[in-house]
Structure 1
Amino acid sequence: MSTDGLPVVAIVGRPNVGKSTLFNGLTRTRNALVADLPGVTRDRIYGRAELQARPVLLIDTGGLEAAGDDVGTGRERQTRLAVAEADLVVLLTDARAGVVPADAEIAAWLRTLDKPLVHAVNKIDGLDEDAVLAESLTLGIHPYCLISASHRRGLDHLSGVISGGLPKAAEEAEAAPVEGIHLALIGRPNTGKSTLLNRFLGEERALATPVAGTTRDPIHARVERDGQKFHLVDTAGMRRRPGSHEGIERFSTIKAMQAMERAGVVVLMMDSTEGITDQDARLAGHVVEAGRGLVLALNKWDGLGESQRKTVLIEVGERLQFARHAPVVTLSALHGSGLGELTGAVVHVHRRASTDLPTPALTRALRAAVEAHPPPGGKGGSAKLRYAHAGGLFPTRVVIHGNRTAQLPTQYRRYLINAFRRAFDLTGVAVELVLKDSDNPYAGRRNTLTPRQLQKRKRLRSFTRKNRRRG
């Protein structure tokens, strides 16, 4: 179970009941592979979700069934490990198939665990809900929700039930205030995170070996460099490979993501000798989704030739295009080269991410962006953007008021975000737009006429009727 304040929710059930579809619906992503074939998901998939404005880590699992081969055995083991990590478990069943013996076996096992449970009944479209509910109650798991994950029906209600069912300890656990910059080091195994931590500290605090996966649990350390205090967290390497969460490694990914969630700035360590991998891109995406400051660190830079260095920098621009706002630092953690540049980048990103942006300056930047490139037209006319103000930090939220703001296309919203980044030097800072339509101050209000106005209206109506009869 989580101990770092960010609750963990696992989705379990038989194959092909819609677990991946529900995972994608709650995280609002397409990270989980969805198909009509049972058993598509084999490994655990982690994602961040906002359930009733409460952040949680969501785990999509493979289906539980009688294993007929080694893949099935591994899939069931992965699911049971996910349940062990979870603060709350969602049992998902298929309303069209009804309650089958496998559902009853899974429910019986879940009831033996000391964990909050929620029963979600999926695929209810076109069915008699009373009949579905009556059959589902036989599993004995409460509370329950009737949903259609593919059509997002009932997901808001399910989100509320999950949020309300999480233990208070997971919700209220808060770490003591940390003085200085809370910095998390994340990356794939053997990219040099522990070596960088030791270089920061000037001592071998973390075991650093050429063997991938040496670090199992997050290592916390405090250090001061050039008058700036840092609270560093070296996390276990996060990899995406079947069998990578076995034994004592089973908590590595979840603890690393929790450490990232609590940090102000995250340094994504990448092995430049291996290039930019899919897992590097996934980890960068997690940081951006969490709204944390991001610095991209290309380690083992001293082992590359000039042409290889150019190739890696091109890969960074192409494969991490969504993170172009993050500064890129090249270094050698082993020899200490580039450490000063990395420290400077972290300090700058944290300073800009912690700065409250004034309303007058935000409004001027908004008007300048609109004048340079007005919003495109749509049904009923183009959007009118009037003023902007700050709405929070980590991520830096900019609230824009206007009319028909929902018509703004994604491309134009991205343009506005980039305009704010340039105006306020928000390098490495996650920026989120919140669009609000201005309320009509006279909506719902009735104008009360004076006696003189009523008499005038009466004479006008009488005059109009006479003219019509004459015509």
Structure 2
Amino acid sequence: MGWGIPQSEGAPVTELAKPIVAVVGRPNVGKSTLVNRILGRREAVVQDQPGVTRDRVSYDANWNGREFVLVDTGGWMSDAKGMAAAIAEQAELAISMADAVLFVVDATVGTTDEDEAVVRVLRRSKKPVVLAANKVDDQRHEALAATMWNLGLGEPYPVSAMHGRGSGDLLDALLDSIPEAPREQDVEEAGPRRVAIVGKPNVGKSSLLNKLADQQRVVVSDVSGTTVDPVDEIVEVGGQVYRLIDTAGIRRRVKEASGHEYYASLRTQAAIERAEVCIMVVDASEPLTDQDLRILSSIEEAGRALVIAFNKWDLTDEERRRYLEREIERDLVAFRWAPTVNISALTGRNVDKLSKAIEAAAAGWETRISTGKLNAFLGRLAAAHPHPVRGGKQPRILFGTQAQTSPPTFALFTSGQMDATYLRFIERRLREDFGFVGSPVHVEIRAREKRKDR
């Protein structure tokens, strides 16, 4: 790894503009193996058991200098009832968020009814499709790939995900099918700020969207997880205009989700990626759960600005509020930087206050510190609190720069590796001095290489 510094303000725009490719196909055709082959690293979970779904489903990929996002949609359970209908529904959700589709079939098996069901959805979607005829491990199997012409999706590309055979031609075809920038997201950059409403099922996300949009556009029901489709709404909150992305509830674990819920959780992750600010809706009347914390972590990992909305405040009594305070101190200590608003989506209480919190979080997310100011701060910090001596050596900060905003990311060039606790201390002090309300702060260490001529 070199010392190259990531791009500055432009970086998040580039990230959002990456085209999305959905990898679809029935179980055990080798989707995950092919994803790993494209990534050049073993990252997607691969198992012989059909229908293994995973927590992590989107990956950054690069081919010939072009970047794109691969979404591995997992296998479908082959014994599901009404297979063709179920596959059609699931594939539709996965495909709708993509710019292009990589459809993987098993050349050694030939086309099946399940493959045909997916083809019908692909035709309806009008998305560009690249057909990968997998498991063509040698020349003898080439003829099997040719039989896939009968799917009517154009040329089948014979590949062996296992051995890498034919993957270069496949990727060239895939790059030809995905759009060059600008994409829709680039246009959106100049539009209203994008805000995703996220949270586990049944915390009142749709009620909040309805209250903000002031009209019943989204299906709301007491049945947990009713909303399965993100619905974008342009709304005005407290005098500010936003593009609100409503998302289906993230299930307890993606592994436990089935069918449309699994794909809805994919869409949720995609909505977080698309958003600039995420409103995390928490049910204040119930104890905080691991699921709440997992969603908060995924927002932080995605580097998005965050506002926490404690909903159903009208259902909390004095005792519950006392408990909630303790839960916040204990469980949300890592997210103290996020502004919080106590709301009732049903009655509309404090909903207008969300605007102030969104603006504060967005401002923190976009904050830039000049290199001069940053190094003066680092100099004061190191003088007052030098890094502890480790193994007879004391690593020093030589120079610091803000590599990018959205979220604020700092590159510190040092004389050696630094302890994680010291990095957390630097992050805490950065927040105390410069704010960064509502935004994750990333600090990266670039340790100087030892000179070999000594």
**Cα separation, 2, equivalents of 1:421 and 1:271:** 28
SS of equivalent residue, structure 1 residue 395: coil
CA shift in 2, pair 1:82/1:197, >3 Å: closer
The alpha carbon displacement at 1:273 in A equals 2.5
Q: Conserved in 1, the CA contact under 8 Å of 2:304 and 2:440?
A: yes
Larger radius of gyration: 1
Q: CA deviation at 1:22?
A: 5.7
- Aligned pairs for 1:160-309 (under 5 A) are 164=175, 167-168=178-179, 172-173=183-184, 174-178=186-190, 181-200=193-212, 203-204=214-215, 206-207=217-218, 209-212=220-223, 213-214=226-227, 216-223=229-236, 225=238, 229-240=240-251, 242-243=257-258, 245=260, 252-309=264-321
Partner of 2:150: none
- Structure-1 separation of matches of 2:427 and 2:40: 22
CA displacement at 1:361 relative to structure 2: 2.0
Amino acid aligned to 1:293: A
Partner of 1:464: none
Per the TM alignment, residue 300 of structure 1 is displaced from its structure 2 partner at its CA by 0.4
Q: After superposition, what is the alpha-carbon deviation per residue over 1:412-454, rounded to whole angstroms, capped at 9, x for unaligned?
A: 44443333222211122122234335589x999xxxxxxxxxx
Q: Which residue of 1 aligns with 2:3?
A: none
Change (3 A) 1:133 1:35: closer
**Cα distance in structure 2, aligned partners of 1:145 and 1:409:** 44
Residue 101 (str. 1) matches residue 112 (str. 2): no
- Given residue 407 of structure 2, which amino acid in structure 1 is its aligned partner? P
Question: 1:70 and 1:384 mapped to 2: Cα distance?
Answer: 62
Which structure 2 residues correspond to residues 37-76 of structure 1 after superposition, within 5 A?
Answer: 38-39=49-50, 41=52, 47-52=57-62, 54=67, 56=69, 58-62=71-75, 67-68=78-79
- The yes-or-no answer on 1:428 pairing with 2:438 is yes
| DSSP 3-state at the match of 1:245 | helix
What does the per-residue CA deviation read over 1:308-360, in whole Å, with 9 as the maximum and x for residues that have no partner?
A: 22333444455556534323322222233333543322221111212221112
The amino acid that maps onto 2:246 is: T
Identify which range, 266-275 or 108-117, moves more after superposition. 108-117
Distance, in Å, in 1 between the alignment partners of 2:332 and 2:25 is 32
> Structure 1's 118 and 290: CA in aligned 2 closer, same or farther, altered over 3 A?
farther
Counterpart position of 1:386: 398
2 CA distance for matches of 1:63 and 1:255?
A: 17
Letter in 2 for 1:59: D
The two structures have a TM-score, normalised by structure 1, of 0.67
1:360 paired residue number: 372
Q: Which of 372, 392, 398 is residue 410 of structure 2 equivalent to? A: 398
3-state DSSP of counterpart to 2:293: helix
Task: State the one-letter code of the partner of 2:23.
Answer: A
User: Residues 13 and 91 of structure 1 are in contact (CA less than 8 Å); yes or no, is this contact kept in structure 2?
Assistant: no
Supply the AA of the counterpart residue of 1:423.
D
Given that 1:349 and 1:429 are in contact with CA atoms closer than 8 Å, whether structure 2 keeps it comes out as: yes
Partner of 2:157: helix, strand, or coil?
A: coil
Question: Deviation of residue 374 (structure 1)?
Answer: 0.5
CA distance in 2, matches of 1:83, 1:223: 30
Q: Conserved in 1, the CA contact under 8 Å of 2:397 and 2:415?
A: yes
* 1-structure distance, mates of 2:189, 2:317: 44
SS in 1 for 2:429: helix
**Of 295-304 and 237-246, the range deviating more from structure 2:** 237-246
- Contact map agreement 2:132 2:170 (CA 8 A) in 1: no
Consecutive unaligned residues of structure 1, counting only runs of 5 or more, are: 94-98, 123-130, 445-471
Q: Deviations over 1:378-431 (max 9, x none)?
A: 6x9554321111222222121222344xx3454444443333222211122122
Query: Contact 1:395/1:431 (CA < 8 Å) preserved in 2?
Result: yes
> Per chain length, whose mean CA-contact separation is higher, i.e. which structure has more relative contact order (CA < 8 Å, sep 6+)?
2
Give 2:6's aligned residue.
none
The aligned length equals 409
Structure 1 range deviating more: 173-182 or 293-302: 173-182
Consecutive unaligned residues of structure 2, counting only runs of 5 or more, are 1-15, 147-155
Cα–Cα, structure 1 residues 397 and 103, in superposed 2: closer, same or farther, change >3 Å?
farther
**1:297-376 superposed matches below 5 A:** 297-316=309-328, 318-320=330-332, 322-339=334-351, 341-371=353-383, 372-374=385-387
Aligned identity (percent) is 20
Greater CA deviation, 320-329 or 352-361?
320-329
Deviation (angstroms), 1:88: 4.4
What letter corresponds to residue 62 of structure 1 in structure 2? G
Partner of 1:449: none
TM-aligned CA distance change 1:74 to 1:374, over 3 Å:
farther
Partner of 1:452: none
SS of 1:188's partner is coil
Give the Cα separation in 2 of the matches to 1:91 and 1:338.
47
Could you say what secondary structure the match of 1:184 adopts? strand
Find the residue that maps to 1:309 and give its secondary structure. Answer: helix
In the alignment, the residues of structure 2 paired with residue 163 and residue 412 of structure 1 have an alpha-carbon distance, to the nearest angstrom, of: 44
Q: Secondary structure of the residue that 1:357 maps to in structure 2?
A: coil
Quick one: structure 1 residues 7 and 396, their matched pair in 2 at CA, closer, same or farther if it must change by over 3 Å? same
Relative to the length of structure 2, the TM-score reads 0.69
In the alignment, what sits opposite 2:426? 416
SS in 2 for 1:416: helix
Give distance in 2, aligned partners of 1:17 and 1:289: 28
Structure 2 SS opposite 1:337: coil
SS state at 2:442 partner: strand
1:433 corresponds to which letter in structure 2?
V
Please tell me the residue identity of whatever aligns with 1:419. R
Aligned partners of 1:160 and 1:409: how far apart in 2? 41
- Give the direction of change, closer, same or farther, for the CA distance of 1:331–1:14 in structure 2 (3 Å limit): closer
Matching residue's letter, 1:101: T
SS at match of 2:413: strand
Offset of residue 302 of structure 1 = 2.1
